[in-house]
Amino acid sequence: MIKFQMPNLGADMEAGTLVEWRKQLGEFLHRGDIIADVETQKGLIEIEVFEEGTLEKFLVKEGEKVPVGTVLALINDGKSEVTESTVSGEEIQKPEIHPIEDRKEIVHENTELGERIKISPLARKIAEENRIDISLLKGTGPEGSIVKKDIEKAISEVKKPIKDAEKEADKTKEISVKPSGPTSDAMRMAVAAAMSKSNREIPHYYLEKRMDMSKAMDWVKEANKDRPVQNRLLPVAVLIKAVAKALDEVPDLNATWENGLHRKNEINIGFVISLRSGGIVVPAILQSDSKTVDEIMETINDIIPRARAFKLRSSELSQSTFTITNIGEGGADKVFGLIYPPQVGIVGFGEISEQPFAEEGMLGIRPVVDVTLAADHRATDGLIGSRFLAALNRHLQNPEEL
């Protein structure tokens, strides 16, 4: 039996609302099937299943909001023992009441709306000692305050091995999370939480390099010559592909920092998309390194409208390993990004514009782009970052090899 849990779709996600089950009880699930729609602060996400088996039981009803890690359904894979399934297989899921990573978070904890949590001094002390995140607890003390008993209950739930999935699901109902849809306010709060965490915890270092785009632009122009409009390439596809190849050479930047550097096997480049209603989403272009420039362009064409319609898949939201932010036409010359935790780098492309450019003693006018790298100094040093920008530049000067 497989326990299918509420996935974590980003460092800032604490809970999600199960909007709709997309499969029926008894239906056979294939790897990659979309099992449900979940609403988060980032919008409506299609959740994929990564196991095979028969849908045995729903444990969470449609419309219910539950914390990350809550068991949503049981999938019968023909084995009697219970295994845990998560959307992003390799990641360890947080239990519904999860220990926090950083002591600071407790001190500064606030609810989504910035209200102060009522908690007794003793309960706070015990929570800190046991690294319990009090923002997910419901207090049973005076004026609804969190008291020692509530923390002890939370500790026992974190430590207790999960025996009865159903019981577990019941219990999570008691944990109150403030309701919030994918409104622009909620989106703002999600961005605020992730970026505050980034700025608070990650010691960024910044590098910048101006790159000649004439060869890349010529190559794109050439490739587009015989194509119908809808199949034309945009320079951004070339940039993404070049970043993927550069990351392949400098794997320390394709990684996460979670009490140490963890390199990632796949290169899944997150691509920042600004929403018209405000806020941003960062869907991943999965395995960017093994896709051709054309395939990357197709993926972008598919993802952008879905992102704007809040219709992304869980894998696209949870699995990026590096981020690109691209200003595009008519925008700023340079952009200095904030790293999306727990990633360790973000590359920023300014507007591609014609500039005087000196090379081999000659001054000419060429399309250039100012490229910045913000990287986590805990994970890498400037030399690595510099090597990455050099590799990126080299690939952009040889677009035909992309």
Partner 1 sequence: MSEMIKITYREAIKQAIRDVMQNDERVFLMGEDVGNYGGAFAVSKGLLKEFGSDRIMDVPLSESGFTGAGIGAALAGMRPIVEVMTVNFSLLAMDQIVNNASTLLHMSGGQLNVPLVIRMGCGIGRQLAAQHSHSWEPFFAHVPGLIVLSVGTHEDARGMLISAMQSLDPVILFEYTFMLNLEKEIPADSGTVEIKKAKVLREGNDISLITYGAGVYKCLEAAEVLGQEGIEVEVIDLRVLRPMDEETFLTSVKKTHRALVVEEAWKSVSISSEVVSRIMEKAFFDLDAPVERLCGVEVPIPYPKHLEDASIPQVSDILEKVNKMLKP
- The residues binding partner 1 (CB under 8 A) are 120-125, 140-143, 145, 147-148
CB of 146 to partner 1, least distance (A): 10
- Are 203 and 378 a contacting pair, CB within 8 Å? yes
Residue 121 or 356 having the CB closest to partner 1: 121
Residue 139 or 345 having the CB closest to partner 1: 139
CB of 128 to partner 1, least distance (A): 10
Residue 120 or 315 having the CB closest to partner 1: 120
CB of 105 to partner 1, least distance (A): 19
Residue 121 or 228 having the CB closest to partner 1: 121
Strand order in the sheet with 34-40: 65-67, 15-21, 34-40, 43-48, 311-313
CB of 137 to partner 1, least distance (A): 14
Residue 94 or 124 having the CB closest to partner 1: 124
Q: Is 285 helix (H, G, I), strand (E, B) or coil?
A: strand
CA distance 281 to 274: 7
Residue 155 or 216 having the CB closest to partner 1: 155
Calculate the alpha carbon distances from 109 to 125, 128, 259 in Å. 14, 12, 21
CA distance 136 to 14: 9
Pure H helices in 225-322: 235-249, 293-308, 314-318
CA distance 253 to 322: 7
Q: Is 168 helix (H, G, I), strand (E, B) or coil?
A: helix
CB of 155 to partner 1, least distance (A): 15
Identity of residue 256: T
- Are 376 and 339 a contacting pair, CB within 8 Å? yes
- Are 2 and 57 a contacting pair, CB within 8 Å? no
**Residue 257 parent element (H or E):** strand 255-257
CB of 140 to partner 1, least distance (A): 7
Residue 123 or 296 having the CB closest to partner 1: 123
CB of 125 to partner 1, least distance (A): 5
